[in-house]
Amino acid sequence: MGTKETCLALHLQYPKTYIAFSRGYSSSHLGVDMAWNSAQGGAHVPVFSPADGTVVTAVDGKGNTWGTSDHGYGNYVIVEHAKGVRTLVGHLEKWSVAVKVGQAVKRGQTLGIQGNTGYSNGYHVHYEVRLDGTKVNPVDYTFAYPSQVVNKYTESDYGIKHYTPTQYYGHPVERDSKVDQFRIDTDTLRARTEPSLKGKVLGYVNKGIYNVGESVRADGYIWYKIEDFWCAYDKQWAEYLPKADPQYTLTMSHLNAAQKVAMVAWCEGEKVEYKVTEE
C-alpha cells in the first residue's frame, strides 16, 4: 500500500534544481507547477527522478495543445518508487524523454528536459505525487535538498520542507589491548571539525571501537581526535578501554633463538599480554 509513512520514508526531492512555484496544489490543480529563472539555468533545464524507482509510463513526441480541448500533460514520465507511491513530471520538451518503461532509475537521474508541451502556456514542470492512485499535495511529501535552490517567496508561501542526508564518519577498528581505545555505543554522537561544542557538526560518528589519538579538554568534555574529526567523550555514550598491563614478562637472555620465537608465538596465539626484557 502507498501509505503516507512509506512515502515520507523515501524522502522524495523536488525534480528540478531550482524550486519555485507558479501554481500550487488545489482541488482543481492536483499538483504543483515549477517555474524557471534565467539566473538558475533558464527554461531548458534537466528534470530528474525524485527518488530511486522504476519507470511505469513514458510519453514523448507531443506538442503544445494550449487553447485546445486537449488538457493533457504533453510529454511526461511516471516513476513508481515503492508499491503504491508514484510521481509524475509533465510538460517535458518534445523528444527529450531519456527513459523507457520498465527502466530502473536512480534519485537525481535525468528523465527529460523542462518544456512547454501539452496544455501549457509557458515553460514549466507539472509535478505530482500519487498514493495508491490518489493525487496528494507534493509539498507534504517532498523535500528540498542542500544542492537545490529555493525561491524565497515559494519558501515562505508554501512552507517547503528541507532534508539534509545524515552523514556518518569514522572507521571502527578491532579491539587492541596494546593501545588505548574507546568504544562508542550510540549512533547519535556528533563528529565536529573542532574540539568544542562550537565546532561545525559534520554528521555522526559510526558506532564501534577507535584508537585514542590527540585529546583536549573543553566545554566540560574530553575531546578525542579520530581520523580528521573530533568527538566528545562521556560515559553515557562511550567506554574508555585503556591498554592492558602485561600479564607476563618474558626474560629472553637465557633462551636460544628458537625458544624466544616459540615463547612469543605462544603469547600472541593465546592473546596473552607480555613485555620482553633481555635482563
Residue 242's pLDDT band, with cuts at 50, 70 and 90, is: confident
Whole-angstrom distance, CA of residue 126 vs CA of residue 14 = 11
pLDDT in tens, 12-57: 999 999 999 999 999 999 999 999 999 999 999 999 999 999 999 9
Please say whether the beta carbons of 118 and 78 come within 8 A. no
pLDDT of residue 279 exceeding 70, the answer is no
pTM: 0.67
Whole-angstrom distance, CA of residue 205 vs CA of residue 119 = 50
Whole-angstrom distance, CA of residue 92 vs CA of residue 73 = 8
pLDDT in tens, 107-125: 999 999 999 999 999 999 9
Whole-angstrom distance, CA of residue 184 vs CA of residue 82 = 34
pLDDT in tens, 157-184: 999 999 988 889 999 999 988 888 989 9
pLDDT of residue 7 exceeding 90, the answer is yes
Q: Is 168-241 in CATH node 2.30.30?
A: yes
Spatial CA neighbour of 142 closest among 13, 16, 47, 10: 13
Question: For 4-161, which CATH superfamily applies?
Answer: Glucose Permease (Domain IIA) (2.70.70.10)
Averaged confidence pLDDT in the chain? 92
Whole-angstrom distance, CA of residue 178 vs CA of residue 166 = 34
Domain ranges of the chain: 4-161, 168-241, 248-277
* Dihedral angle computed from the Cα positions of residues 172, 174, 177 and 183, in that order, rounded to the nearest 10 degrees: 40
Q: Within 10 Å of residue 231's Cβ, how many Cβ atoms?
A: 26
The per-residue pLDDT for 225 is 92
Please say whether the beta carbons of 13 and 144 come within 8 A. yes
pLDDT of residue 2 exceeding 80, the answer is no
pLDDT of residue 258 exceeding 90, the answer is no
Whole-angstrom distance, CA of residue 54 vs CA of residue 17 = 21
Share of the chain above pLDDT 70, in %: 96
Q: Which residues pair with 192 in a beta bridge?
A: 201, 230
